[in-house]
Amino acid sequence: MRMAKTNNLYIAILGLGTVGNGVYKILNDNAALIKKRTGKNLIVKTVLEKDLSRKKLITNKNVQFTSDINAVINDPAINVVVETMGGENPAYPFICQALKAKKFVVTANKEVVSKYKKELTNLAKDHGVDIYYEASVGGGIPIIRTLKAGFAPEKINSIYGILNGTTNFILTKIEEEQKEFTEVLKEAQSLGFAEKNPTMDVTGLDTAFKLIILAAVAFKVDVKLTDIAYEGIQKISLRDITYAKELGLKIKLLAIGKRLKNNTFAFSVQPVMLPQEHPLSAVRNEFNAIFIVGENINEAMLYGKGAGAAPTGSAIVSDIMDISYTYPQNNIRNLEYDFKSVKMTNPAELYAKFYLRLLVKDTYGVLEKITNIFGQHKISLSKVIQKDEVKKYAEIVIMTHKVKETNMKNSIKELQKLTPLVHEVCSLIKVGIDNL
Annotate 79-91 with b (16+ C-beta within 10 A) or e (fewer).
bbbbbbbbeeeeb
Q: Whose Cβ is closer to ligand HSE: residue 49's or residue 206's? A: 206
| Residue 166 lies near ligand HSE (rule: CB under 6 A) | yes
The full length of the chain comes to 436
> At closest approach, how far in Å is the CB of 191 from ligand HSE?
12
> At closest approach, how far in Å is the CB of 164 from ligand HSE?
4
Helices (H), 294-336: 309-326
Q: Whose Cβ is closer to ligand HSE: residue 206's or residue 227's? A: 206
Q: Which helix (H) or strand (E) holds 183?
A: helix 181-190
Residue 342 dihedral angles phi and psi, to the nearest 5°: -130, 170
| Residue 165 lies near ligand HSE (rule: CB under 6 A) | yes
**Sign of CA pseudo-dihedral 233, 236, 237, 241:** negative
- Interface stretch with ligand HSE, choices 160-168, 216-224, 296-304, 334-342 (CB under 6 A): 160-168
Query: Is-catalytic flag, 361?
Result: no
Distance CA 280, CA 406 (A): 26
Distance CA 157, CA 298 (A): 9
Alpha-carbon distance values, 340 to 112, 125, 133, 215, 255 (Å): 19, 17, 19, 11, 20
Distance CA 93, CA 309 (A): 24
Contacting ligand HSE within 94-113 (CB under 6 A): 110
Q: Whose Cβ is closer to ligand HSE: residue 161's or residue 257's? A: 161
Determine which residue in the list 83, 175, 206, 405 makes contact with ligand HSE, applying CB under 6 A. Answer: 206
Contacting ligand HSE within 360-419 (CB under 6 A): none
| Residue 204 lies near ligand HSE (rule: CB under 6 A) | no
Q: Whose Cβ is closer to ligand HSE: residue 201's or residue 227's? A: 201
Contact, 312 vs 19, CB < 8 A? yes
| Residue 307 lies near ligand HSE (rule: CB under 6 A) | yes
> At closest approach, how far in Å is the CB of 72 from ligand HSE?
24
> At closest approach, how far in Å is the CB of 110 from ligand HSE?
6
Alpha-carbon distance values, 82 to 88, 106, 223 (Å): 15, 5, 25
| Residue 306 lies near ligand HSE (rule: CB under 6 A) | yes
Q: Which one of the listed residues 45, 110, 117, 210 is annotated catalytic?
A: 210
> At closest approach, how far in Å is the CB of 143 from ligand HSE?
12
| Residue 313 lies near ligand HSE (rule: CB under 6 A) | no
Nearest to 434 by CA among 241, 237, 278, 238: 278
> At closest approach, how far in Å is the CB of 51 from ligand HSE?
20
Contact, 262 vs 200, CB < 8 A? no
Give the DSSP per-residue string, 74-94. T-TT--EEEE---SSTTHHHH
Alpha-carbon distance values, 14 to 130, 218, 311 (Å): 17, 28, 18
| Residue 83 lies near ligand HSE (rule: CB under 6 A) | no
Size, binding site for ligand HSE by CB under 6 A:
8
Type of residue found at 139: G
Determine which residue in the list 130, 201, 240, 319 makes contact with ligand HSE, applying CB under 6 A. Answer: 201
Q: Whose Cβ is closer to ligand HSE: residue 161's or residue 294's? A: 161
Type of residue found at 143: I
Q: Whose Cβ is closer to ligand HSE: residue 49's or residue 201's? A: 201
> At closest approach, how far in Å is the CB of 16 from ligand HSE?
17
Contacting ligand HSE within 219-258 (CB under 6 A): none
Q: Whose Cβ is closer to ligand HSE: residue 85's or residue 396's? A: 85
Cis, bond preceding 420 (omega within 30 deg of 0)? yes
> At closest approach, how far in Å is the CB of 424 from ligand HSE?
30
Determine which residue in the list 21, 114, 164, 400 makes contact with ligand HSE, applying CB under 6 A. Answer: 164
- Interface stretch with ligand HSE, choices 10-18, 162-170, 251-259, 363-371 (CB under 6 A): 162-170
Distance CA 415, CA 189 (A): 37
Q: What is the set of active-site residues?
A: 210
Q: Which residues bind ligand HSE (CB under 6 A)?
A: 110, 164-166, 201, 206, 306-307
